[in-house]
Structure 1
Amino acid sequence: MSTHTPPGPPAAVTMKRPTAQSSAALFVVTAVLVAGVWAIADLGIDLSTIVDSVHNAIDFGSRMFPLDFPSIGELAALTGKTLAIVLCATLLSVLLSIPVAVLAAGNTSRSASTRFGARALIVAARAVPDVVLAIVFFRVFGFGALAGVLAMGIHSVGMVAKLYADAIEQIDEGPRSAVRATGARRWQELVSGVLPQVVPAFVATGLHRFDINLRISVLLGFVGVDGIGLAMATAFRRLDYQRGMALALTVLLVCVLVELLSGMVRRGLLAAADSGGGGRVRPGQVSPPWTTRRVRRTVYAGVTALVVLAAIWEADLSFGQLFGSLGDLGQTIGLFWPPETGGIFGLLLADLLVTVKIALAATVIGAVLAFVCGSLAASNVAPTPGVRQLFRNIIVTVRGMPELVLAIVFVVITGLGPVAGALALAIGTIGLLGKLTADSLEEVDPEVEHAVRATGAGPWQVYFAATLPQAAPAFVGNLLYQLDVNIRAATLLGIVGAGGIGFHLLNATRVLEFGVVTTVMILVFGTVLLVELLALWMRRIVR
């Protein structure tokens, strides 16, 4: 009996926790599904809508082909300009995020007030849409790459600094204590005891943000940021779909290549971090020794520095323009205060509701498809490695499609309005939520799966009885995060006629009613904050 007693309690405890979590998760999923189904019905998204749009899709295809690519030289110049702007923006966000993250992390912040202030700064950076930042910087610095770099860079701090602070809070305090024992100063503790541990996470986060900023650059092209996004916007405004879709395909290929490359780099960093070895700080040592690994990393850092300098040169950034125009920044920001309604407050609220319905419909439609794709992309669920790789490739490809391009395509096919925005965001949801679902399923406790499998259960029984219940809380968290993302994205897709409050955001800037822009931002921020509070409540329940 003694040989059978020990396994019993762990198995019971392990199975009990996912069940309790799943109860709360089921409640939230049901609520989101009900709201999403209502939104789908209210927006008029059904099979007849798709069927009625088939003729428009065929017509669009005939107007799109043959694709009209620019010359190799022009295409290379546009792509190089875009990559340079995105790289500079991502680097700016990293440089700004590191000190903010140090102040925001509980184990490196000097006081609670400092930590709260840094966290508030992170939230504020995330709250202001990059498009609005770009509009502000255009008025200060004029059109060009500088406004785009500043807009993407500052907005990215909201994500990058948060993840950096989380990484700092999860370090092993041993190396830092060893450095402190030598009498090192605080900055030496950070450089020698903290930074070596978080470099892999910092670089991985930076690469992930680079992927995101590459897609954002397409959107900013529609408000004047130079590069391939601006060329694409110009083509679509002329109804030149052959050139516009050729550039869109180029963006897709670049996004997929960057995604694959950054994935390889992230896996290499994780492997290097797991292997440990040379470069660690030993007691009595303030800086790590010069090992082969450290030399290699130094060479990589040198190459990276050269690439950054080339990007600054290619983006044609002018530091004289930056510092010379900073005096006008306060006056420009003052144009956005106080908030104004422009006499259309009722219309703003109505279109805000449309934006929420677009996000809900897109989240539900995309979540259903993402759940299937993500499950088949998980190594512990897919029936064969080939199936897993196929669905991983599908997810990567979909993630490479900027939602704005999808919105333009659906606007042409289904017409102006929220249906186009909902369908575009639904496809975008497959890319992000599908990846998060696959990762969550792969991170479950395999012992629970083994226990169920040992009873003679088949693959799908193991999936529904052991794998899915464990991943359910993470899936709910990811679902709410996707809803947050979709509300923000739905706001911006209104710029190209995909319905919602975004139209008023762009129109207000065109007629210089910046107080209305502020009102729109406050309304959207309040809505997103409600979703964030719901997510916090869910995390507290399933903890």
Structure 2
Amino acid sequence: MSVQTRPDRRPPAGAPAREERRRTVARPTPAGLGATFALLLCVGGGVWAFAELQLNVATVVDSAGNVRDFLERMLPLRFPPVGELLDLTWQTLAIVIAATALSVLLSVPLGLLAARNTTPGGSVRSASRALIVLARAIPDVVFAIAAFRVFGLGAMTGVVAMGLHSVGMVGKLYADAFEEIDEGPRDALRAAGAGRLQQIAGAVLPQALPSLVATALHRLDINLRVSVVLGFVGVNGLGYALSNAIARLDYQEAMGIALVVLLLCFAAEAVSGKIRRSLLREVAEAPRAGVLKRVVGGRVLGRRLAARTGARRHEPVPAGPRGAGIRRRASPPWDAGRVRRAVVTALTCALVVASGVRAGISPDALARGAESLLPTIGDFLPPSTGGIGDMLLENLWITVQIALAGTLIGVVLALPLGALAARNVVPSPAVAQFFRSLILLVRGLPELVLAIVFVVVTGLGPVAGAFALGIGSVGLLGKLVADSLEEVDPGPARAVLATGAGRGQVFFTAVLPRAWPTVLAHLLYTLDVNIRSATLLGIVGAGGIGYDLLNAARVQQFDVVTVIVLMVLAVVLFVEGLALWVRKVFA
């Protein structure tokens, strides 16, 4: 039998090298072209919104006089009496801590139902994921408006509003953490006859615990800044005192309270960051200390348990008294590390209980809220435009313009700052730490406080909102860009550097291309966040549909509030879907 050989397809000797290179270049796909066009459309929309809102140097120059007047009106700073300030601070912290604890209590079971490896069924998982997305997409101010109808003016409104809204972020991250566990310990417990709840308690939750704690601490930082916003809709604490000072045009006291909030944000960021780093260090060092084998070490523990039950070798367990031949502790010894963790856990529980008491959480309050829940939901249904549908659409478009322009400002500032904050990009660790500290400093500024300042400086309208979002985006996007660049595989960069390339060439050929899909997703995520934030900034006169939202709530047109929420929700879900699609295409 003859064998037919395929003709040699190699180019003849002397053919141009570009023919070979042409074959290695991937052809663009329709999905890739569509994603690129969508990104270009977003960039073009940002440039157009920037020009439409007249954000230019002349606007800044014209506002220079207002800056001087504002400084004269706010200096010297004035603070409430010490006793009152301490009481307001503790009230704010109590609301934030209780709300974060509530979100954790709700997110653990919801995350277990939404995780692929712990949910009892596909329909349950889809429903849980939908609830998580809905909680994240609805602005926290809307939750506060509804909670105000149920619980009235006070701290309980803030706890419920922030707690429910936080489920959108905490629940998603918890579900992701549950899906990333090692299945070894769970398989071993299943082989030993453990039920579903026993598997979750003995194998799933212990492995995910560091991630759960880190997420809760991160959400605590965010809720502290959110508490300022909720003060404008009647939630007690520093935010409420700030809103009253602004209503009186008392900028000396308002900026003094804003400074206290800023210092609290910095302190919370520093403490939670230290705890998160400590958790990561303990997990990383656990194999050497023997802790990981008891708590997180799935494969080792799984194989040992499976061997003892005969699950892997299919051999009967040796006969004899229960536990014969096993000289292993049922629990780890009470060493210094375990004592420290127990003390920290006890103090944390005591702080949560004290915060709940200060926030007014009680069975009677919850019972009254349950009785008012259904009538309150009925107030928001059915949705109605209240005869101002055209104005709502126009203001929604202004909100989108504010978000686009603010995101463009943030991108222009955050991309270089994020690159300079990445330790694998800049040659000096000191330089990277300086720019990362600068990003964290900006990140600690509540956007509502920035909006208040820009409203006073530039006047009422979307210009103040765009500038506030632009500065606020630097803190969020700069950190995400720096983290994405640092997570790139260092191998290709070292290879390019070994060829004699400069740092700029290494960055543009080996670092940025590999991080680009993640960076793009972060850009769209920032736009998503800015759309929701632009809605909230309208409360203080920064333009957009947020002003209509607050007015509708004040005159108790809750059916109009529902329409506004649905309009914002549609835009947010569109941007979120676009971000997921772009990341999938470019991954």
Q: Tell me: CA distance 1:102–1:146, structure 2 relative to 1, closer, same or farther (3 Å).
A: same
- Contact map agreement 1:25 1:472 (CA 8 A) in 2: no
Q: CA deviation at 1:296?
A: 3.5
What amino acid is aligned across from residue 139 of structure 1 in structure 2? R
Q: Deviations over 1:270-310 (max 9, x none)?
A: 11112233233734499972233444323321111111122
Q: CA deviation at 1:16?
A: 8.5
Q: CA deviation at 1:324?
A: 2.5
Is 1:131 paired with 2:173?
no
Q: Deviations over 1:432-469 (max 9, x none)?
A: 00000000000011011111111111111111111111
* In structure 1, C-alpha distance between the alignment counterparts of 2:330 and 2:560, rounded to whole Å: 54
The within-5 A match list for 1:176-187 is 176-187=186-197
Query: What's the counterpart of residue 316 of structure 2?
Result: none
Is 1:246 paired with 2:256?
yes
What is the TM-score of this pair, normalised by structure 2? 0.87
Query: What's the counterpart of residue 332 of structure 2?
Result: 290
| Pairing partner for 2:476 from 423, 432, 452 | 432
Q: CA deviation at 1:311?
A: 1.4
Query: What's the counterpart of residue 270 of structure 1?
Result: 280
Query: What's the counterpart of residue 461 of structure 2?
Result: 417
Query: What's the counterpart of residue 237 of structure 1?
Result: 247
Is 1:446 paired with 2:456?
no
SS at match of 1:190: helix
When structure 1 is superposed on structure 2, of 174-183 and 421-430 the one drifting more is 174-183
Is 1:382 paired with 2:426?
yes
| Pairing partner for 2:390 from 324, 334, 346 | 346
Query: What's the counterpart of residue 3 of structure 1?
Result: none
* In structure 2, C-alpha distance between the alignment counterparts of 1:206 and 1:518, rounded to whole Å: 29
Query: What's the counterpart of residue 159 of structure 1?
Result: 169
Query: What's the counterpart of residue 207 of structure 1?
Result: 217
Is 1:145 paired with 2:144?
no
* In structure 2, C-alpha distance between the alignment counterparts of 1:504 and 1:113, rounded to whole Å: 37
Q: CA deviation at 1:133?
A: 1.1
Q: Tell me: CA distance 1:25–1:478, structure 2 relative to 1, closer, same or farther (3 Å).
A: farther
| Pairing partner for 1:258 from 268, 286, 292 | 268
- Contact map agreement 1:105 1:165 (CA 8 A) in 2: yes
Is 1:335 paired with 2:345?
no
The within-5 A match list for 1:80-229 is 80-229=90-239
Query: What's the counterpart of residue 50 of structure 2?
Result: 40
SS at match of 1:456: coil
Is 1:301 paired with 2:311?
no
Q: CA deviation at 1:180?
A: 1.7
Q: CA deviation at 1:175?
A: 1.3
* In structure 1, C-alpha distance between the alignment counterparts of 2:46 and 2:330, rounded to whole Å: 54
When structure 1 is superposed on structure 2, of 97-106 and 24-33 the one drifting more is 24-33
C-alpha RMSD of matched pairs (Å): 2.1
Is 1:500 paired with 2:544?
yes
* In structure 2, C-alpha distance between the alignment counterparts of 1:25 and 1:503, rounded to whole Å: 34
Q: CA deviation at 1:134?
A: 1.0
* In structure 2, C-alpha distance between the alignment counterparts of 1:383 and 1:344, rounded to whole Å: 57
What amino acid is aligned across from residue 93 of structure 1 in structure 2? S
Q: Deviations over 1:495-526 (max 9, x none)?
A: 11100011110000111111110000111011
Query: What's the counterpart of residue 508 of structure 2?
Result: 464
- Contact map agreement 1:508 1:517 (CA 8 A) in 2: yes
* In structure 2, C-alpha distance between the alignment counterparts of 1:520 and 1:239, rounded to whole Å: 29
- Contact map agreement 2:154 2:235 (CA 8 A) in 1: yes
* In structure 2, C-alpha distance between the alignment counterparts of 1:24 and 1:367, rounded to whole Å: 22
* In structure 1, C-alpha distance between the alignment counterparts of 2:469 and 2:458, rounded to whole Å: 14
Unaligned runs of 5+ in 2: 1-20, 310-328
* In structure 1, C-alpha distance between the alignment counterparts of 2:61 and 2:233, rounded to whole Å: 33
Query: What's the counterpart of residue 451 of structure 2?
Result: 407
What amino acid is aligned across from residue 352 of structure 1 in structure 2? L
What amino acid is aligned across from residue 199 of structure 1 in structure 2? L
* In structure 2, C-alpha distance between the alignment counterparts of 1:200 and 1:27, rounded to whole Å: 40
Query: What's the counterpart of residue 53 of structure 1?
Result: 63
Query: What's the counterpart of residue 565 of structure 2?
Result: 521
* In structure 1, C-alpha distance between the alignment counterparts of 2:25 and 2:166, rounded to whole Å: 39
Unaligned runs of 5+ in 1: 1-11
Is 1:355 paired with 2:355?
no
The within-5 A match list for 1:304-319 is 304-319=348-363
What amino acid is aligned across from residue 273 of structure 2 in structure 1? G
* In structure 2, C-alpha distance between the alignment counterparts of 1:47 and 1:325, rounded to whole Å: 51
| Pairing partner for 1:368 from 392, 395, 412 | 412
- Contact map agreement 1:22 1:469 (CA 8 A) in 2: no
- Contact map agreement 2:521 2:580 (CA 8 A) in 1: no
- Contact map agreement 1:398 1:427 (CA 8 A) in 2: yes
Q: Tell me: CA distance 1:416–1:93, structure 2 relative to 1, closer, same or farther (3 Å).
A: same
Q: Tell me: CA distance 1:223–1:363, structure 2 relative to 1, closer, same or farther (3 Å).
A: same
Query: What's the counterpart of residue 538 of structure 1?
Result: 582
> 4+ residue stretches of structure 1 with deviation over 6 A?
19-25, 285-288
Q: Which has the higher contact order (CA 8 A, sep 6+)?
A: 1
- Contact map agreement 2:234 2:240 (CA 8 A) in 1: yes
Q: CA deviation at 1:470?
A: 1.1
* In structure 2, C-alpha distance between the alignment counterparts of 1:62 and 1:393, rounded to whole Å: 29
- Contact map agreement 1:377 1:392 (CA 8 A) in 2: yes
- Contact map agreement 2:462 2:543 (CA 8 A) in 1: yes
SS at match of 1:222: helix
- Contact map agreement 1:146 1:318 (CA 8 A) in 2: no
* In structure 1, C-alpha distance between the alignment counterparts of 2:33 and 2:508, rounded to whole Å: 15
Q: CA deviation at 1:183?
A: 1.5
Q: CA deviation at 1:120?
A: 1.2
- Contact map agreement 2:137 2:573 (CA 8 A) in 1: no
**Structure exhibiting the larger radius of gyration computed from Cα positions:** 2
| Pairing partner for 1:326 from 348, 352, 370 | 370
Q: Tell me: CA distance 1:472–1:175, structure 2 relative to 1, closer, same or farther (3 Å).
A: same
* In structure 1, C-alpha distance between the alignment counterparts of 2:262 and 2:200, rounded to whole Å: 39
What amino acid is aligned across from residue 289 of structure 1 in structure 2? S
- Sequence identity, in percent? 56
What amino acid is aligned across from residue 75 of structure 1 in structure 2? L
Q: Deviations over 1:316-336 (max 9, x none)?
A: 333312212311110011111
- Contact map agreement 2:162 2:223 (CA 8 A) in 1: yes
What amino acid is aligned across from residue 507 of structure 2 in structure 1? Y
